[in-house]
A and B are shown apart, each in its own frame.
Chain A
Amino acid sequence: MTIATTYNEDQAQERADSASLTRPVSAQKGTASGRNRVLLGLYLLFTLLPIYWLINMSLQSNQEILGTFSMWPQDFDFGSYIKIFTDPSWYMGYVNSITYVAMNMAISICVALPAAYAFSRYKFIGDKHLFFWLLTNLMAPPAVFLLPYFQLYYTVGMFDTHIAVALAHCLFNVPLAIWILEGFMSGVPKEVDETAYIDGYTFPGFFIKIFIPMIRSGVGVTLFFLFMFSWVELLLAQTLTATNAQPIGAIMTRTSTASGIDWSTLSAAGVLTILPGVLVVYFVRNHIAKGFALGRT
């Protein structure tokens, strides 16, 4: 968005400049837009440099990474990627992560949709307090809950399963989803519900056929946030699993062995971990600001 606006201004400025080169005002503006360009360029450089460096390293061999300083790979080495896609101990990390993230998204959205509807439509004793209490769940660091979860899952035999991590992540994802969805739902007038009842819809019929399609962008944004927070969470995921459900983040920490750190494979794994996020962001890019405002405009 910022890029596009600046670009258009530049274009317009250029046109204005060529039309009247002598006017001092446009000359001043010209330097202003030049400064904008420089600042934007610097900003992009600093934010994208680490990501570029990661991609750069992932395509180099360990010798090249450690031996020389190269701005780009001297000879492209896809060995690290091939290793990750062929070695089960690597690619299962992605499978595990995606599995528990998907489970968590499904559980959270199914729980949050009716809960958010209740908060947005009904008045009950303590509704506001309960609603705020939900948000406080996001304020405690997950480490606080680490021990009880670990002990509990170990006792009931759920340790090292995908569902264990998925449920643990509900701790912060369900409140978040309720808050975002409540914002979107409160934007739908109550009269729509009533019209549907007058037309003869049952509650489930109305909810699925009328209501959810009305807030589908909200559901999309919510799913994105659920994905994001579950995908980047490492502490719970790492502690509650051992081998069967180990997330990719945990596997990446094991690359330092007796023979040193496997820089190249680690970088490749990093690139592959960024990709799903990039993909998901692309689909909800137009609604994401509203999501950060918890669905409230």
Chain B
Amino acid sequence: MSLTLEKVSKAVDGQDWITDIDLNLEPGSFNVLLGRTLAGKTTLMRLMAGLDQPTSGRVLMNGVDVTGVSVRKRNLSMVYQQFINYPAHTVYDNIASPLRLAKMPREVIDKRVRETANMLHLESMLDRYPLELSGGQQQRTAMARALVKDADLILFDEPLVNLDYKLREEFREELRELFKTRNCIAVYATTEPNEALALGGNTAVLHEGQLLQYGRTPEVYHKPKDILSAEMFSEPPINVVPALVTESEVTFDETVHFKLNSDLQSLTPGRYQFGVRASHIGLVPHADDDLELPMNVDLAEISGSETFLHVHNGELNLVLHLSGVHEYDVDEQIKVYFPTHKIYGFDMAGSTVHVPTRLGGV
């Protein structure tokens, strides 16, 4: 079963929510829709599911046009961001409901419900009601209901957003395991680049209703098509610095110069925008030709066991992604090391013209 979107658009009240999206999802693939809030992830999923109809374009399932076919007649399941269950039914009945409606024999239903419940660690909750369970268990119930039937298409709309950090990591792993053995298309929407990387598979980067890039997840990550795609697929967003390339050296921010190295030699002289991932700038040099830059600290933002360090020097603003907790005073003078081998080159229009070849780690 493959899913194809052909020039799909959706406008609501004269506003374009989805613009001309072409997408082909292979059978058995795991696909991540990555984009910020309002990027159109949910809208796109609803179009895939048939809950909403596209304003123009077609949706094909296995080559058959299913645009306008009721969601009841399609074989799919969906897990929402909110925990959606039937509160008046027990967990068992919740999971069994799609099978009962498919008129399966009682024993088969029982077997499959218990199998799925075991898979999601719900075996001891079967007789309870969803609202008596914790958030994680409620979402597991919703997932179990989605997984219990052999759907051709399973849609996850940010299912882990309302769960705590620890559960999220656990779920993510389980999810990958669950889908290894299945031959259905999974689509998973998320706002977090890290989640996309952890899930692997394919990634479609969405921005303001447009599909920026689609491909294998590491491929999209390492070779972003343009600045926007690179920004969407990095947290914190990739640092962008205007630069001038001449015959022999690179200048950015008018003040910093360094010799054109083998890596950037392919660039013809002219103006560019250079991108450097926040995690690639360090407080200690990693290579001999790392550029030492004196910077002033603006803010050290601590998130979990990681620190986002915002620094500036004149017009040059950079964000560093450091592991571990680091405390800095505002306006403290520090030295950061800028890797000249890990620079993405974008032309002034934003398209990628250079991708670093010697990538070490993420």
Contacts and interface: CB of A to CB of B under 8 A. Distances in A.
A214 B88 contact: yes
Given A199-B101, A200-B101, A189 B82 contact: yes
Given A198-B76, A199-B145, A202-B72, A192 B84 contact: yes
Contacts of A117: none
A interface, by DSSP: helix, strand, loop or mixed? helix
Contact of B86 (A198, A214, A216): A214
B322 to A, nearest CB: 39
Interface in B189-235: none
Give chain B's interface residue range (CB within 8 Å of chain A). 20 to 34
Nearest to B97: A199
B66 to A, nearest CB: 14
A191 interface: yes
Given A199-B98, A199-B101, A200-B98, A194 B71 contact: yes
A267 B98 CA distance: 58
Interface string A183-208: 00000010110111111111001000
B162 to A, nearest CB: 13
A202 B101 CA distance: 9
A292 to B, nearest CB: 24
A125 to B, nearest CB: 15
A40 interface: no
B9 interface: no
A210 interface: yes
Contact of B72 (A189, A191, A192, A197): A197
Contacts, number: 50
Interface in A206-228: 210, 213-214, 216
Give chain A's interface residue range (CB within 8 Å of chain B). 10 to 19
A72 B88 CA distance: 50
Contacts of A216: 88
Contacts of B86: 192, 196, 210, 213-214
Contact of A195 (B70, B78, B88): B78
A191 B81 CA distance: 10
30 contacts: A189-B82, A189-B84, A191-B82, A191-B84, A192-B84, A192-B86, A194-B51, A195-B80, A195-B142, A195-B145, A197-B51, A197-B71, A197-B72, A198-B49, A198-B71, A198-B72, A198-B76, A198-B77, A198-B78, A199-B77, A200-B72, A200-B101, A200-B102, A201-B101, A205-B101, A210-B88, A213-B86, A213-B89, A214-B88, A216-B88
Nearest 4 pairs of A and B residues by beta carbon: A213-B88, A200-B101, A199-B98, A191-B84
Given A191-B80, A198-B49, A198-B72, 19 more contacts: A189-B84, A191-B84, A194-B51, A195-B80, A195-B145, A196-B86, A197-B72, A198-B77, A199-B98, A199-B145, A200-B72, A200-B98, A200-B102, A201-B72, A202-B72, A210-B86, A213-B88, A213-B89, A214-B88
